[in-house]
Amino acid sequence: MLENRNQLEIEQKLKREMEREGLDALILTEPETILYASGFASHFLYDSRRIGTTLAVVRKEGPVILILNEIEKQTAENQCKDIKMETYPVWIYIDGVEDDGLEKPSQPDMMVPVKIALDFITERTAEAKIGVQSPSIPHDIWDFLSNCTGVGSLYNCEKVLNRARAIKTDWEIGLLRRTAKITETAMLETAYCIVPGMSEKEILSIYRNAAFSQDLDVIGAYTVSGIGAEYSIVQIPRNISVKENDIIRLDGGANICGYQADIARTFVVGKPADKAVQIFDALYRAFDTGRSMIGPGVPFEPVFHAMQDTVRKSGFEKYTRGHCGHSVGCNIFVEERPFVAPDEEQEFTAFMPGMVMSIEVPFYSAVYGAFNIEDTVLITENGCEWFTTVNDSLFWPRH
């Protein structure tokens, strides 16, 4: 899959946004932004979350520069194209590399790759304006960069990244369409299997197997589940089981090349309480209201208010959300900007062609459990393409 990724197209998007903000370079430190900019997913960085392990440098001219350790270079050479690579040594012995026989650190000094990144920037512009991911940079790296460049030379580049990533390339759209459809099928297969007495662990296992079995490119299959009154979101499955007449929520998606789907299906095992039906029907009407409004150029704010107000007018006057949808892409936490929300501070405040958005109407109840109606839509030049089709009744898939 990565061999079909258009590196130069993504690089040019980043450079256009850099020019817009008056930046000379970016130093990217988070795993998903490095993946976006270079096409490389650093195992060390994704797993350790140790900022500095891998870096990507984007300059106004020339290719993206990937700075990584020696043990990962072979993978990057296999998967990436049209970028420059620079390595630094780690504690691992590799027969035949240039530093063969030299002493190795027990753990690498994170200032080494940071200094390499800075050298690539200052070799062209001594007083460069550098965009950094300041919310996640540790103090020692921030201090090092500040001391070398002056704190006035460092700028938060989140706006650059958010704008570039909001409009997807054709390759990204294809991935997100594929992951959404895999997820939809996996959730349907899982729903058919759920019976009273089944544990949350069994449900999640069925779902993961259903996702992985469809496509060899699937690298992850995440979902959060709600069972009966247990609405809370968990990382480790709970010791709970399905009871007759429980409401079930499956919410999440399959992951290919770091791009994750996000859809949701809510249904009943047995016969739902009247109140549960009222909740679901209110949410579905709200979703349908939003769905009918969405298109290129449509502002987020009226869609948000129309969806929220529909739920409120259906008997849930206190229903309040911060957003009713979000972009999807290569973020570790699947929700990314822009949000379908009345937020004028966002980089985009309207649906634009090339956006891939998950539209959702969740509802949590300590009595009836978790509900969510969520599907994924591509905004096109002339309208929309819905990747998935949410169920319109709790009696799913057993009509």
The tens digit of pLDDT for each residue in 275-326 reads 999 999 999 999 999 999 999 999 999 999 999 999 999 999 999 999 999 9
User: What's residue 97's pLDDT?
Assistant: 72
Mean pLDDT of 175-190: 97
Mean pLDDT of 135-143: 91
Q: Judging by beta carbons within 10 Å of its beta carbon (0-12, 13-18, 19+), is residue 35 exposed, middle or buried?
A: buried
User: What's residue 101's pLDDT?
Assistant: 63
Given a contact cutoff of 8 angstroms between Cβ atoms, the answer to whether 363 and 319 are in contact is yes
Residue 105 — very low, low, confident or very high, per pLDDT cuts 50/70/90? Answer: confident
Backbone angles phi, psi at 214, to 5 degrees: -80, -30
How far apart, in Å, are the Cα atoms of 288 and each of 124, 185, 282, 328, 393? 53, 21, 10, 20, 13
User: What's residue 389's pLDDT?
Assistant: 96
Residue 98 — very low, low, confident or very high, per pLDDT cuts 50/70/90? Answer: low
Mean pLDDT of 151-173: 94
**Domains, the chain:** 2-165 (3.40.350.10), 170-386 (3.90.230.10)
Mean pLDDT of 248-269: 96
Give pTM, 2 decimals.
Answer: 0.93
Residue 108 — very low, low, confident or very high, per pLDDT cuts 50/70/90? Answer: confident
Per-residue pLDDT tens digits for 337-358: 999 999 878 899 999 999 999 9
User: What's residue 377's pLDDT?
Assistant: 98
* Dihedral sign (CA 79, 120, 68, 138): negative
CA pair distance 366, 177, nearest whole angstrom: 34
Sequence-distant (≥ 6) Cβ neighbours of residue 284 within 8 angstroms: 373, 390, 392
Sequence-distant (≥ 6) Cβ neighbours of residue 131 within 8 angstroms: 18, 21, 23, 25, 26, 27, 155, 156, 157, 160
38-42, 124-128, 221-225: which is most confident = 38-42
User: What's residue 92's pLDDT?
Assistant: 83
10 pLDDT above the threshold of 70 = yes
Strand partners, 132: 27, 156
Sequence-distant (≥ 6) Cβ neighbours of residue 343 within 8 angstroms: 300, 323, 349
How many other C-beta atoms lie within 10 A of the C-beta of residue 235?
A: 5
124-133, 341-350, 356-365: which is most confident = 356-365
Residue 123 — very low, low, confident or very high, per pLDDT cuts 50/70/90? Answer: confident
